[in-house]
A and B are shown apart, each in its own frame.
Chain A
Amino acid sequence: MPHRIVIMMISLLSFATWGMAGPITFNSALPLSEGTGILRAQVNLLHQSGDATALKRNVTATAIPLVLAYGVSARLALFGVLPYVNKRMDINIGANRFRRNTQGLGDARFFARYTMYQQDRPGDTLRIAPFAGMKTPTGAHNTRDAPGLLPQPLQSGSGSWDPFVGIAITRQTLDWELDTAVSYRMNTKASGFEFGDEARLDGSFQYRVLPRTLEDIGVPAFVYAVLESGLIWNGRNRLAGVVDNNSGGTVWNLVPGLQYVTRRYVLETAIQIPAIQRLNGTALTTDWLWTTGFRWNF
């Protein structure tokens, strides 16, 4: 199986972000109060098809990332993301349809974010927060099935320690919110295999559609209409030091969504629609990625 098929899948499934209200598919710079925790859970469902070859490959992948966030101070917050993943590929071998799949814990990510700039006005805030962390090899990367060792991208984990850095900028008012984030992850080698690095440029605009006007007292629940944009670039993989020219590429997703935001919890759903997929070589294309989840303040 070409590795590039699933490298994009991993990128799309690993977007689980931290806890504050804000974008659905990437990180914001919104505040996390000192001593406050947030639990976030998501279900991400991906489908890929469009194989023009006789293999007629189809990929379905599910990821359920749990995110725990904690405010060490008003400026410094720590985050942990632990995903459960299920990856399945159906493929024609000869006259038979064959399935290879794996499931289990994926690779956990741990990172810290520091608010380096904060400008508060009535009902309005602008924040800039860099973040840095590490993807850790908590997922299995040597799972086997009947034909043998699963291809590395189909494993639930990469086996590698992969550092990443980024910066998030958020402007939020009572009526709307605008976010952008740029990040880079340097993937390292494990078991002779190295995924290509990943760079992301994300944007999000959220507009309060309900309530249309705010009451003079209290904290009402907000309903936001959300439109996000995700530009993801993946470098080519390397197997035993040899570059795989049929891996990596660039994807641009448009993500319409909806959020219901209260004091204690957020409910949200969105669908990522690939607007542009420029993958190296021939590869399966992503049909859609649906995500839904909640966040809970404690």
Chain B
Amino acid sequence: MRILQSFLFILMLFAAPFGAAMAGDTGQTATIVVNGLSCPFCAYGLEKHLKKVNGVEDVNIDMKHGKATVSLKPGTQVDDAMLREAVKKAGFTARDISHN
């Protein structure tokens, strides 16, 4: 029994960081701080690329604060690296990404 408890404890130690990372990726929305976004006409390309990311349902852009918020499809998760790549393809620079 003591061996089983030790095994579960070690398993939890290994699983905790992984679980935390996944939790960060499974939020309902993700908000990306986008540098370089300063024109409505250019915002379309950003919206288009973010919508192409698997799991993204909708995109809302806040020009004033330079933020793009993506709504995720229920039960899906999105990788931050894919969001950063989408921003890069649109011609901008992604900074912080937060999940809600």
Contacts and interface: CB of A to CB of B under 8 A. Distances in A.
Contacts of A21: 39-42
B42 A74 contact: no
Contacts of A297: 41, 44-45
A227 B68 CA distance: 31
Interface in A110-137: 115, 118, 120-125
Contacts of A145: none
Contacts of B89: 33-35, 73-74
A21 B43 CA distance: 11
Interface string A231-269: 000000000000000000000000000000111111000
Interface string B46-68: 11110000000000111111100
A123 B38 contact: yes
Contacts of B39: 20-21, 30, 172, 177, 222, 261
A26 to B, nearest CB: 17
A216 B65 CA distance: 7
Contacts of B38: 123-125, 172-174, 177
B24 interface: no
Interface residues on B, range: 20 to 34
A23 to B, nearest CB: 13
B40 A74 contact: no
Nearest to A119: B36
B35 interface: yes
A222 B66 contact: no
Interface string A24-49: 00000011111110000000000000
B49 to A, nearest CB: 6
Q: Which applies to chain A's interface (DSSP): helix, strand, loop or mixed? A: loop
Interface in A130-188: 172-174, 177
A94 interface: no
B63 A218 contact: yes
A15 to B, nearest CB: 19
A74 B60 CA distance: 21
A217 interface: yes
B46 A33 contact: yes
A33 B91 contact: yes
Interface of B: 33, 35-49, 60-66, 88-93
